[in-house]
Amino acid sequence: AQSVTQLDSQVPVFEEAPVELRCNYSSSVSVYLFWYVQYPNQGLQLLLKYLSGSTLVKGINGFEAEFNKSQTSFHLRKPSVHISDTAEYFCAVIPFGRTALIFGKGTTLSVSS
């Protein structure tokens, strides 16, 4: 069975500070990896995805993530956050040969001034 673990349920940070949201996964097969963002009372929006190739992936809004196969991790980073980045962030995988996303429990990023 596959699972996704987001190591921090809440991450408070000050505006313009760097941030890292951690994600580890467990799977017996290779996976595609995703980060989604959910703003209050909204649906989920794709931030970035890793399918193959370069392990450093850049997404929207200045976010990036790095795939580490040996550590089965896909951590999300941003060098300088804004108040508008306050949201819930979800890491997810799709195992090869499957169709549906498997989500982690989410990390609440709270950016304050």
Of the candidates 48, 61, 42, 62, which has an alpha carbon nearest to the alpha carbon of residue 92?
A: 48
CA 95, CA 61: separation in Å to the nearest integer? 26
31 by Cβ neighbours in 10 Å (0-12 / 13-18 / 19+) ranks as buried
Shortest Cβ 103–another protein spacing (Å): 4
Shortest Cβ 100–another protein spacing (Å): 5
Per CB under 8 A, contacts with another protein among 35-54 are: 36, 41-46, 49, 51
90 binds another protein per the rule CB under 8 A: yes
81 binds another protein per the rule CB under 8 A: no
* Tokens of residue 108, six digits: 């609440």
Of 32 and 66, which has the nearer Cβ to another protein?
A: 32
Which residue of 32, 59, 66, 108 would you call a contact of another protein, by CB under 8 A? 32
5 by Cβ neighbours in 10 Å (0-12 / 13-18 / 19+) ranks as middle
Residues of this chain that interact with another protein (CB under 8 A) are 32, 34, 36, 41-46, 49, 51, 90, 94, 99-106
